[in-house]
């Protein structure tokens, strides 16, 4: 297998490669809504997966996600991309059942690199208890990989992003900062310990967080990916018609991320997220710029954001352990979707 730095072949990496939310919504919001009696959740509330009714009790949840590499090891890239795609099913409260590969691959690369990417994806699907059955590949100048994932579950057990309630506590299950760390790593200027912490986070499935959440009364949920913590929290606030208060001092942070942010290692997606959210998020003057950078940082294979009673939130954090934390609470709708303290 040729010794190629995959990250040198791409302009942006991971979920930071997502189209800017302002541009995306400009198009999506102009599309006519396709009405279907069996479609319970579509893209209208920006939920993590579609929900399609199969019968009176069972629904199908389905999602798709793929992106360019944020690491050079092809096997690890495959693991991260698969964990990221599988996360959307966990964010709906479900379990992945079957998936299909999506692969864009440069003709100039050794085919063993493709094989390693696919093996990495298989390893995470196997860990999740899902099966990968086929997929689609195209030749492309930049490598990209991901999955289309389907899960089956009871309609009554679906977690939505539009059912957060005033009084809910908010739990975040993974630390933030992988977009910043990946940017510094691409410039070969990130501490090895920070890179290892980011990779460990990005390759970790959200299965355990989902499983613990299933034992509690989760009112609403989403996962934190390319649109940042503020972006995905804003989607919940808008869909639920509430305001979310975030205590920035409680937000878990990956090792070295704040220091790298202060050095200017910020992905372009951080600015696209802030631009889209400027009228939706309000910061107290005491919140430092590096923390704002972190809250707008596009995450790859980030954690779950769970909304539940304070008692259940404390139970979750006690059982799950670090890095999960209660980072805020929900109040009645005010002038902004998000207020950061």
Catalytic center residues? 15
Displacement of CA 11 from its chain's centroid (Å): 20
Answer whether 92's CB lies under 8 Å from 48's CB. Answer: yes
Angle of helix 289-296 relative to helix 268-277, nearest 10 degrees, comes to 90
Displacement of CA 294 from its chain's centroid (Å): 14
Cα separation, 5 vs 68, in Å, equals 12
Distances (CA, A) of 191 to 30, 70, 77, 222, 263: 44, 15, 19, 30, 13
Cα separation, 95 vs 114, in Å, equals 27
Cα separation, 332 vs 168, in Å, equals 11
User: Does an H or E element contain 53, and which?
Assistant: strand 50-53
Tokens of 275: 């631009």
Answer whether 300's CB lies under 8 Å from 225's CB. Answer: yes
Tokens of 80: 């991260």
């Amino acid at each position: 297998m040729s010794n190629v730095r995959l990250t040198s072949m791409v302009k942006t990496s991971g979920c930071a490669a997502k189209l800017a939310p302002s541009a995306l919504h400009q198009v999506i919001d102009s599309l006519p809504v396709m009405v279907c009696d069996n479609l319970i959740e579509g893209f209208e509330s920006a939920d993590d997966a579609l929900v399609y009714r199969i019968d009176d009790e069972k629904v199908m949840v389905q999602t798709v996600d793929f992106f360019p590499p944020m690491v050079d090891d092809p096997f690890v890239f495959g693991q991260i991309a698969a964990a990221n795609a599988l996360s959307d099913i966990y964010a709906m409260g479900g379990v992945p059942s079957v998936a299909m590969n999506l692969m864009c691959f440069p003709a100039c690369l050794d085919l063993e690199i493709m094989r390693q990417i696919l093996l990495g994806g298989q390893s995470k699907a196997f860990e999740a208890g899902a099966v990968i059955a086929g997929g689609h590949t195209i030749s492309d100048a930049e490598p990209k990989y991901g999955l289309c994932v389907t899960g089956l579950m009871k309609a009554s057990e679906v977690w939505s992003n539009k059912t957060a309630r005033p009084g809910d506590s908010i739990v975040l299950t993974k630390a933030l900062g992988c977009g910043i760390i990946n940017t510094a790593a691409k410039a070969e200027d990130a501490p090895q310990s920070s890179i290892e912490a980011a990779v460990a986070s990005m390759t970790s499935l959200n299965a355990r967080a989902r499983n613990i959440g299933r034992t509690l009364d989760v009112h609403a949920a989403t996962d934190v990916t390319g649109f940042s913590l503020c972006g995905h929290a804003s989607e919940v606030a808008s869909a639920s018609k509430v305001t979310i208060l975030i205590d920035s001092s409680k937000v878990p942070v990956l090792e070295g991320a704040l220091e790298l942010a202060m050095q200017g290692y910020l992905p372009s997606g951080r600015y696209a997220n802030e631009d889209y959210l400027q009228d939706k998020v309000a910061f107290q003057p005491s919140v430092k710029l590096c923390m704002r950078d972190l809250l707008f940082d596009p995450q790859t294979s980030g954690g779950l954001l769970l909304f539940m009673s304070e008692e259940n939130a404390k139970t979750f954090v006690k059982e799950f352990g670090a890095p999960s934390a209660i980072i805020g609470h929900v109040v009645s709708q005010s002038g902004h979707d998000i207020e950061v303290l």
